[in-house]
Structures are given as structure tokens and as C-alpha cells.
Structure 1
């Protein structure tokens, strides 16, 4: 038998609390046992792990899955929380020009529970929908980077390659164009998937440049076996994500229009397959980029400092990007801008990032850039609690809590107003840390670290975005790029890997993490495998080095090209051994010596062209020639 916790309604919970209060003898005893109060809000329901078997009625063992805890989460779980006694009862007033803006009480009204009903999660968290049946790395990756997205990229890229082919054919000489035309051929869906697979595998070789990846001695064989280096560079240069015909008109209302449609579809997939846990972290991510971009930002506190800014919401307990919003600056024509291209202010940004979970009872962890007292009160009205740090210059904050003067190191002060709990902690002389919470109603302090519970909770959930950011940087394998839409596409590849592997690990029952490096390697191999099979079946035009790399990667030899008898007799070329004797020189003298070599038919076994001096002729009589040898 397995156990699940079924949530009671608010009326049922209050009824159970009242019954416990009557049996305990006093309300003071009940209020001191916060853990017992929190437990009665849920009831344990026994349910079988499989279909009931009438013939065998033995009890199944209870399977307990424990979530992997970070260091900050362990600190919060092991904290010895005690009630903080206020120094003096009274009020703090916030004045401006003689008028009172806000009043804060030093004591909160007595509460019967540690967490209010606004922090009760009323829906199941984790993987949902068709994503529950995912079992392979490729299927998990395609939950987010779907076949429709890849088809769209392939179609847009081929339209641009067609224009490049027409321009190159007109500009280049005939001989030069004949030698390079194959690089600009249309991209197939299989080839685009193989290109994405190579981009993922490149994350294992970030120190190697493109020419080094295709070097015979330095580069791995899988790159040369999948596609040529010139072809890879051509796709990387000309990959396109939108319709270039209508781009200039759309750019006036949206600077992000070069990849907006594709990114919006990808962002919807993030929330389609996963329901976040009880806490969501809102922060910002910087995609490193130093090329030309009309909305490039400079953030000295972020790694790389220069790049594109994304407002991000992530699960605080699992490695999962839940929502992304790109900052693209003010458009040239705001009246033509699509919805949510511009967000007015910090409060509007936070409300947009959490609008899908309004009324769900979840907690939102914010840093000091987003947190404010009015925002906390707005979200509390939408049944969302807030925990975050505060800047001292925010409005409605009492001066007694923002000033570090006459404060003892390790001391804490609390203030309460309209369901908002404000704490001021002094970690060392001359410094004050402000934190706000609408989730915690009691002034609890850890006796061991002397930190308030609000700050401990913030430390345990603030890394939701930062952790996945570091994983994203590893998964991207982004080369040096000059086009910002391609950089955004590489970010999408990284997010699809991070989220896909999290879904796969949850389906496998792994809560403590897994070998994501091995999963990334398996994903890259699965993406390039169909392309390798195509080249094995049709090796026309592949040189000797490519065929060797193909055999080394797949363990199979390419199928020999079968030519008609007339074509096989007509096929003639210069002897490969004579060409080796000439060496790999350059210049007019080498070219003239090469042109003087006569042409001969190919060898009967290896199909290489060979002259009479480097071949052996066998004389047989008519009788022996009729027998099979």
C-alpha cells in the first residue's frame, strides 16, 4: 500500500484544529505545537500501488521517497527555532512630509497555525500529461524542442539558403561555384537534427574551435562522420528562425521578432509538461553575448557581464525552468507590439511570470530587485505568499529596522502589518539584512545560527534560478557567435536538456539527481544516429577520411556504390598511388604534373583507380574463366 496526502478544506481543517484544542485543555498549548497544527491540515489516504488482487491479500510495503536536500535546506530542516521576544511593545511609524504612510506593530496578532490557508498547495506537483510516459533522453528532449519547432527552423533556413545560392551563383566563377555549391544545398530534417546533436556534443569539447573539431588528430570522429566542417559552418552561419520577407515590418513593434514566434512556442512547452512545487523562484538570467544586439545589457554582477537579459521563473526544489521572458527594450512603434513584449515596472513583471499559478497557494521567492511591500500585499490578495530580501530605500519601511546603529551583531527585529512580516537581522556591526514574508506569521529565530526563520527559508529557496543557470551554461556548449538569434537558439537547446533530464529523472524515481553528463552524451548520439545511417547507405561523394571516421563511429563499412556495367567501364581516374608519390604540393608545377597522369579503370575490390604499374593482371584460360572464383 502507498500513502498519499489528501488536502482537507479550510472548514474541515478548522474543525479538526478546534477538536484538538478542546482535548489539549488550552489554546496556549496548541499554539506552541506548530508541527501538530500543520499536520492536521492533511489526512493520510491508503491506496494500493497496483490493482487489488482478491486471491492475495497481503499488505504491500510503503514506499517513501525523500527529496534530495541542499545544504541550505538541511540548515532550515535542522534549525532549532524559538519564539523571538520583542524588546518593547509598540508601533513603528513611517512618515513623509508630516503624514503617516504606514504603521508597523512590534507584535503580531496571536495565530492558531504556523502557515495560513493561502500557503496550502491544492494541486499535485511534478510531471504531468504525456510527459509521464517518457523513458529516453531523446523523447524527453523533444517534449520541449518539438518536431514542429525543428520543421519550422528547417523551412526558414532553406528559404535563406536559396537566396544565398542565387547570390553565390551570380557572384562566383563557374569553376569555383561547382566546387562549393554542395555546401548550400537545402537542409533536410534529419540533417538539422544531426546539426543539433553535434551542437550538444560540442559541449564536451568547448576548448576546441570548429577547425580543430574537424582536425584528423585533435577532433572526435563523430563530427567528420556526421557532416563536413564546411557544411556545419554553413548551417551555423545561415540558420534562420523567422520569415525574412516580413521581418522589417515586424521589427518596428518587436526587436525580438527574429525568434519571437519560435521562442513563444518553446516557452509554452515548459509549463505544459510540469507543475511546479510549493515554491517558485523569480530571478534574472544573462545570456552571454558580445556581438551586435539592439537590446544588449551590461550587468556587472552576472558572469560574462554583457548579454541578453531574461526574467526567469524556476522551481525552487527541482532543476526546472518554468517560464522565461526576454527583455528586448522599447520598440520603435509600441502600438504595433505584440502582447507582453513590454512590461511596465517590476510588479508587472512578477505578476506576468506567476500569472499561471495565481490562487494556487504557492510561495514566490524574490530577491531585493523585485521585493516590495505593495507587491507582497497584491500577491497575498491572489493567494500567493512572498519571501524575499529588501533594499533599505524601499517605501513603507520603518527607520528603526533599516538603521544599523546601536545594533548588536546577531540580533533580529520584527515588525508586522496587514499580514506582512518584516525582519531586520544584523549579521555584523554596521550591516543590516532586511527580509519580508507573507508566509511566516510568527517571529521565529534559530538558536544555533541566530538567524530568523524567514532568512533561513529564503536561503533554502533563492538558488532556484542560479543553479539551473550554471547547468545551462554547461549544457549549451555555445561557440563564439555573431548573430544573437542563434545564441538564443542555443539557450533553448540548453533549457530543453535541463528540463528534459529533470522530467526523465523524476519518471525514473530519482530524487537525488543523476548523471546528466552521460544523459547529454546519449542524447547527442541519438540525434546524429539517423544521419550516420543515411551516409552509410549512400556514401556517394565521401572521401577516404570521412569513410574511415564513419566506420570508426558506427563499426560498419559504408555500402559499396553499385554502378551499371556501362558506367563502371566508363569510370576512369588517375591512380591513387601515383598521386601519393607526387605528394601534397601546391602550385602550377604540381598541377601540371598531376594533369599529365593518365586515367585508368578502378580496382575490382576497393574501387580505387589504379594504373598498370601498381596493379597485377591475372592470365586465365577460357575454361578457368567460366568457373566461379
Structure 2
């Protein structure tokens, strides 16, 4: 909807009721348009007020509302069972129950107050400025009390002290928001619900810390910890159901859920601790590479290939198809795979051989696979062209 006098003019309007002291959101409901209350033959303000206060009916609390909600019939109904609630709120001067003497009059002095009483209702008209008159209705006050210091009616002071809970709650949601820009209104609604739930949880947390007399975390620290705790169970399920996960993703999940990863490298042939060279082959190993048809090394003296090594499965054949099938069931980033870089010196045409030497133990994203010797498997792909190179050694 569009509200021109609001800081955020466009958006989904959600009507809230909040606790004054803690700013805890008690209930909320989205505004669904002018036709919402027609079926029950009731003004929208009264409809939403009764809807949102169901959880506190019968608690003898007070409601503070603006002039969109406040009306004489609503105030009278809230005093009766099952509501048993009092009401303080500004009221529009176009209501038919308002006497003409209480409306704006330029001849009235600034700072004057008029009180009107009807059964348990109290109406006050206060003129703070020459061109402004404020009307408030209260079922909590029954005396024409005026503060001697400020000169304002006590009803207005009570209203000012209790009117800011919803605005403060909305402001706090905006300060630490998880919302993202989107054109899908259901997702926008979900972000709003999530912001309100996160703030409510922090309010409960702070209240519990006050009871236990402990220092609470900052809201930023609380939200970070809460987000990790909410993801923890799902990350554990993902870790269990997806064994073929990239090594860096698995390490990040283990770190986030607090799993000990010291035993992640217990596979045969793997040494624990930091490694600078491959554990499966000699760093000075010389390879003879036979290039595939229609593939040529570059004109530069050396071409670099990213290489992956793993212990060869028992009974594997030395054919390219067998090696490719073996790699399909082995996660490239698992603890049983080493990655390092080979450089090759070009000597001749496409059918000629090139020799390669392992020059570093760097580990990074792999490009692909190939070759077998004894109990070791080495896979090689050219980094940019992604061409497979077959080799024997």
C-alpha cells in the first residue's frame, strides 16, 4: 500500500500490538484492504483492535492507540467481558459523538483544556498551539487532572508515555534487518516475519538475563549465534546425506557445527598435519605424457596442469574409461585426494611426448583427471582448454 507521510511510503502494512515496557510484539496481522471488516459490519480500526488483543483479553490491561483505531463504541465494548481492557487514544474530531465545544476554536486560549464525562468515558480537548487542538479519549481516567508543571492533562501525559512501543519495535527491526531487495511480495512478507521473530527472541533473551542477573550479549552477537544454531541441525543432515561434498564445503560445515576434523584424514596413505607435497607420488617424479588427438601444447616453453592423485582402487584397469569411472565415485575435495601442479616442456608435434615435473604442492580447484601406475592414480587436465592428457610412467 501507499502512505505518503511515512518514511517508507510503499510496502506491506502489518498492524502490530506491542508491550510498552519491553517492546515485545504480542500479535500482528497484515492489512488486507478496506473491505476487510465489511462482512462483520464493523469499522476496520475496531476489527483489528479486537483481533490483535485476543491473547490479552481479560487481563485488565490498557491499550494505547492512535486515531485510526479509537472510537466511542470500541472504548465501551473493550470495558465489557471478555475484553476487560481500558483504552487511551487520540480521536478524530469528525466523530458524531464529539460535542462542538471540544473541536478547534480560534478564540480558545493556548494551553487550555476541556473535559467531558459520560459513564466510564473521559474526553479531553487540549490546545497546545493557536492552530491546533488535540482530542483524546480515555476509559482509564475519571478525573479532570492537569499536571501543575507542564499544564497538560494527565491523560495526554499517559498517552505520550505509552504510545511509542510499535514505532520503537519497527525501528529496531530496521536497524538489524535480514531483508533483501525482492519483487516477490511473499518473500518480502517472510523477511518481515523473520525480522519480528528475531527481535522478539532477543527481547526474551535480555529479559531472562535480567532475571538471572547476567550480562546479555549485544544484539549483533545474539543474531549471529542464533543464525548458526538454526543452521546447525540442517548442516549436520546435509553432511550425513551428501558424502560426495567438496572438501572446502565440508570443512566449513564442520567448523560451523563444531565437529572435530582431526580424524578426517585417516584414510590409508594420508599423513596428518599440513602437507607441502603430494602423499602419493614423488615430488620429483618424471612423467611421459601422450597427448590426445587434435590437442596441442602451447607455444610457450611450459604448460601447467592441475593434477589430482589418489590410491588406485583394487583391481582397476589402466584404461581411460576405468579411471574416469573410479573418479566419479571419489569426491575431488575429499581427504583421500591430493592436488598439485605439473609443468610440461613441449618437444615436437601433437604425437610427440612431453616430460613433466611436479613443481609445487599447491591445492586448488581441479580441472580433471587421467593416468595409472601400480597403486597410484594421477589425473590431469589442461587448465584453460580443459583437454585431457593421457600419460604412462
Structure 2 Cα separation of the partners of residues 356 and 487 of structure 1: 26
Structure 2 vs 1, CA of residues 374 and 539 (structure 1 numbering), >3 Å: closer, same or farther?
A: same
Superposed CA offset, 1:162-193 (max 9, x none): xxxxxxxxxxxxxxxxxxxxxxxxxxxxxxxx
Contact 2:34 2:44 in 1 (8 A): no
Cα distance 1:557–1:389, how it changes in 2: closer, same or farther (>3 A)?
same
Segments of 5+ residues of structure 1 without an aligned counterpart are 1-296, 335-339, 566-571, 576-587, 617-629
Cα distance in 2 between the residues matched to 1:308 and 1:369? 17
Are 1:608 and 2:356 counterparts? no
Q: Give the RMSD, CA atoms, in angstroms.
A: 4.2
* Residue 328 (structure 1) aligns with: 32
Aligned equivalent of 1:498: 199
> Displacement, 1:525?
2.8
Alpha carbons of structure 1 residues 508 and 548: separation in structure 2 relative to 1, 3 Å:
closer
Aligned length: 291
User: Is this contact kept in 2: 1:320–1:499, CA < 8 A?
Assistant: yes
Deviation at 1:377, TM superposition (A): 1.5
Residues in 2 aligned to 1:384 and 1:366: alpha-carbon distance in whole angstroms: 13
Q: Following superposition of structure 1 onto structure 2, how do residues 553-568 of structure 1 map, counting pairs within 5 Å?
A: 559-560=264-265, 562=267
Report what 1:122 is aligned to: none
Please give the alpha-carbon distance, in whole angstroms, between the structure 1 residues aligned to 2:298 and 2:144: 87
Q: How far apart, in 2, do the equivalents of 1:550 and 1:498 lie?
A: 26
Q: For 1:441 and 1:592, locate their aligned partners in 2 and report how far apart those are by CA, in whole Å.
A: 97
Q: Is the 8 A contact 1:424 1:434 kept in 2?
A: yes
Per the alignment, residue 487 of structure 1 pairs with: 188
Tell me which of 446, 450, 453 is aligned to 2:154.
Answer: 453
Matched, 1:345 2:44: yes
1: CA distance, partners of 2:131 / 2:298: 80
**Contact 2:307/2:339 (<8 A) preserved:** no
**Structure 1: distance between partners of 2:45 and 2:261:** 60
1:24-39 superposed matches below 5 A: none
Distance change in 2, residues 1:303/1:606 (3 Å):
same
> 1:318 aligned to 2:49?
no
CA contact (8 A) 2:123 2:136 kept: yes
Q: Which residue of 2 aligns with 1:128?
A: none
Q: Taking structure 1 as reference, are residues 530 and 347 closer, same or farther at Cα in structure 2, changes over 3 Å only?
A: closer
Question: Given the alignment, which residue of 457, 461, 468 partners 2:169?
Answer: 468
CA distance in 2, matches of 1:434, 1:447: 20
1:402 to 103, 109, 116: 103
8 A contact 2:308–2:337 mirrored in 1: no
Distance in 1, matches of 2:60 and 2:226, equals: 37
- Aligned in 2, Cα 1:613/1:462: closer, same or farther, shift over 3 Å? same
Which of 430, 436, 446 is the equivalent residue of 2:137? 436
Shift in CA distance, 589/460, structure 1 to aligned 2, threshold 3 Å: farther
| Counterparts in 2 of 1:598 and 1:371: CA distance versus 1, 3 Å | closer
In the other structure, the counterpart of 2:246 is: 542
Structure whose CA Rg is larger? 2
2:88 is equivalent to residue 387 of structure 1: yes
Contact 1:363 1:384 in 2 (8 A): yes
RCO (CA 8 Å, sep 6+): is it higher in 1 or 2? 1
Cα separation, 2, equivalents of 1:432 and 1:488: 38
Q: 2: CA distance between counterparts of 1:514 and 1:401?
A: 50
1:62-141 to 2 correspondences below 5 Å: none
- Deviation (angstroms), 1:368: 0.9
Give 1:524's aligned residue. Answer: 227
Distance 2:93 2:28 in 1: 28
The Cα of 1:432 is off from its aligned counterpart by 0.7
Alpha-carbon distance, 1:530 to partner: 4.8
Pair 1:513–1:549, CA change in 2 (3 A): closer
Contact 1:319 1:498 in 2 (8 A): no
- Output the TM-score relative to the length of structure 2: 0.62
Are 2:78 and 2:85, in contact at CA under 8 Å, matched by a contact in 1? yes
Shift of the 509–597 alpha-carbon distance from structure 1 to 2, 3 Å rule, reads closer
Contact 1:312 1:325 in 2 (8 A): yes
Contact 1:603 1:610 in 2 (8 A): no
